[in-house]
Structure 1
Amino acid sequence: MMTRAYHSPTREAQTSATRRRVISAAQACFEERGYVGTTMRAIAQRAQVSVETVHQTAAKRDLLLAAFTLAVTGEDSQARLLDRPEPKAIFDDPDPVRRLRGIAAYVVRINTRVTPLWRVFEQAAAADAHVATEYADLIRRMHAEIRDALAVLAERGDLRTDRPADELADLLWLLVLPDQYFRLCEQSGWSVERYATWLAESMLHLLMGSDHHAGS
């Protein structure tokens, strides 16, 4: 006789809550101590769980990726950004200029949250082959999402056609990276508002051309 798998909603909710607590603790430790300086024991202490629970949650390199994903989306999921409610609402805006400004503002909100962890990720990738593999996959997925976003804009007739789509995708990826926020705001002393204006204008110029800055 086959037995039916037992599922306890309460237990699953507790497991999910513990995982999120561990990931949040890992994020804080990575940002404070760096990747090398963060130990599983430090994460356990921050999360107020046992070291065994941290190991059962994920390996250290996987906790770094999970922490980055949580910082970007607020969720423990690698679903595409384009499938999430906030970006979908922005893309539904009928005004192309306002839509691009909305995308830029969304990127700004993400970069102000994730820049410290992004830098940890880069540094860890340079020193750890396993993290380097995760980092390369993250870059690949970022490129793919940008190409998908530009395909949507192209279908609506909002994307300039005088430059190759692959080139636009590469340059947009460069613009939206947390690196630009770090260089301009944290190293050059720009305000977030100035950075946000620069990013929106740069995106409009890149994707729509110099004649499309007016509008909402």
Structure 2
Amino acid sequence: MADDVKGPPARRRYTSPVRAEQAARTRRAVLQAARELFADRGYAATPISAVADRAGVAVDTVYSSVGRKPELLRQLLETAISGTDEAVPAPERDYVQRVRAATSGREKLELYAAAVAAIGMRMAPVHRALAEAALTDDDCAQLRAEISARRAANMRLLAADLRATGDLRPDLTDDDVADVVWSMNSAEYRALLVTERGWSAERYAAWLADAWVRLLLA
């Protein structure tokens, strides 16, 4: 005799647009609270409970919407780099696509210098928190090393892109170019000129572009 007894219907997944938007708003509030507190108090002096209080949510909501403190810091870094609410892979970022589309070495470097200056404004307080956290937190130390290595790898891609224009100095290798740009687009270099010497973002961008053109192009 055939078994024609049917089981309970499969539960269909359904995501309410309203619920998704509420979750996104909560995540943005948590990240904004963490950004403000890490900048004001420092990483070590900011407990998750303080982030929850500033964001107006429960502690468990901080964990469920973003994660532990090292993940909060990672997401702050990624969103500061992308300039959006989410991490964006390097090839998909608007400024990277504009740099890749440029046809001359000078234009590529000018576009990239402007992007570095803009990103630096968003990154500065987050980078200070990361530098502090890396001294005592292994996860944050690994994150800092990861971001630095990723930046170096991206600079090698930029160097190859510049090489393809035919505008680079012939005595420089791609590694030479990548290392020079990597050192000068760092948060530490920016802090010397912008934070300590009081340069504006516009002056900093113009300086980077001019220096890179003079140093790297034939």
Aligned-partner Cα distance in 1 for 2:93–2:63: 30
Cα distance in structure 1, aligned partners of 2:91 and 2:184? 18
CA distance in 2, matches of 1:95, 1:148: 16
Q: Provide the residue aligned with 2:47 in structure 1.
A: 39
Structure 2 CA distance for aligned equivalents of residues 49 and 37 of structure 1: 19
Question: Equivalent residue for 1:100?
Answer: 109
**Where has structure 1 moved over 6 Å in runs of 4 or more?**
none
- Consecutive unaligned residues in structure 1, runs of 5 or more: 210-216
* CA displacement 1:134-173 (0-9 Å, x = unmatched): 1111112111221222222222323333112112211210
How far 1:76 moved relative to its partner?
3.7
The one of 141, 147, 166 equivalent to 2:156 is: 147
Deviations 1:55-85 (A, max 9, x none): 2221111101111222222224333333212
Unaligned ranges ≥5, structure 2: 1-8
Find the residue that maps to 1:56 and give its secondary structure.
helix
Match of 1:213 in 2: none
Question: Does the 8 Å CA contact 1:112/1:181 hold for their aligned counterparts?
Answer: no
Tell me what 2:61 maps to.
53
Q: CA RMSD in A?
A: 1.9
Matched-pair contact (CA < 8 Å) for 2:30–2:55: yes
TM-score by length of 1: 0.87
Quick one: distance in 2 between partners of 1:141 and 1:79? Answer: 13
Counterpart in the other structure of 1:89:
98
Match of 2:137 in 1: 128
Q: Which residue of 2 aligns with 1:19?
A: 27
The more displaced of 112-121 and 58-67 is 112-121
Instruction: Give the % identical residues.
Output: 34
Residue 184 (structure 1) aligned to one of 185, 193, 197: 193
- 1:27, 1:68 within 8 Å by CA — same for their partners in 2? no
7 and 204 in structure 1: CA distance in 2 versus 1, 3 angstrom threshold:
same
1:26 deviates by: 0.7
What letter is aligned with 2:62? V
Equivalenced residue count is 209
Residue aligning to 1:157: 166
8 A contact 1:23–1:63 mirrored in 2 = yes
